[in-house]
């Protein structure tokens, strides 16, 4: 898994916090989530969870960022950061993992950022305040992706 340069990492995490604080619409769950997606061209796209009274109409922050970017024609990504109000790193839900798998390389860095990260500034502590770096390959092992649709099929 590639390491992000410190400047990009900080900008991505800051954008995820801004997405959560400025744009999250979570009147039902009160569970704010922000995401920031780093496109391969260096553009950062913010996302926030947007809830709906019909819960099935809710869209998570990670999918918001990916859909915003993909709908504008940018489908090449370098990293993703996700932040909530919880003081530990929270992982994307199953549906978000599958959407991330669709658009992102299996080893692309995904930064799971605890709510108290700015206080501790990645102190190296494995507990509160430290960013967990992972990838979709780790979060969704043995996954199904676009390349699987190209596999030969047997006859019935």
Whether residue 128 is predicted with pLDDT greater than 50 in this model: the reply is no
Q: Whole-model pTM?
A: 0.90
- The answer on whether 104 is annotated among ligand-binding residues is no
Task: Confirm or deny that 120 is annotated as ligand binding.
Answer: no
The tens digit of pLDDT for each residue in 42-94 reads 999 999 999 999 999 999 999 999 999 999 999 999 999 999 999 999 999 99
Interatomic CA distance for residues 154 and 26, integer angstroms: 46
Catalytic residue, chosen from 62, 72, 102, 150, is 62
52 is in an annotated binding site: yes
Residue 30 has pLDDT above 80, yes or no: yes
Kindly tell me if the per-residue pLDDT of 149 is higher than 60.
Answer: yes
22: annotated active-site residue:
no
| 143/89 Cα distance (integer angstroms) | 22
């Amino acid at each position: 898994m590639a390491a992000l340069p410190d400047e990009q990492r900080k900008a991505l995490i800051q954008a995820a916090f801004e997405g959560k604080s400025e744009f999250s619409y979570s009147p039902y769950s009160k569970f704010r989530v922000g995401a920031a997606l780093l496109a391969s061209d260096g553009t950062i796209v913010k996302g926030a969870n947007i809830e709906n009274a019909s819960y099935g109409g809710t869209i998570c922050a990670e999918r918001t960022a990916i859909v915003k970017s993909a709908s504008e024609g940018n489908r090449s990504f370098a990293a993703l950061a996700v932040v909530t109000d919880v003081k530990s790193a929270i992982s994307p839900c199953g549906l978000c993992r599958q959407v991330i798998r669709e658009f992102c390389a299996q080893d692309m860095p995904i930064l799971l950022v605890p709510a108290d990260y700015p206080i501790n500034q990645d102190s190296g502590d494995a507990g509160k305040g430290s960013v967990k770096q992972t990838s979709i390959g780790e979060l969704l092992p043995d996954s199904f992706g676009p390349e699987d649709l190209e596999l030969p099929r047997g006859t019935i």
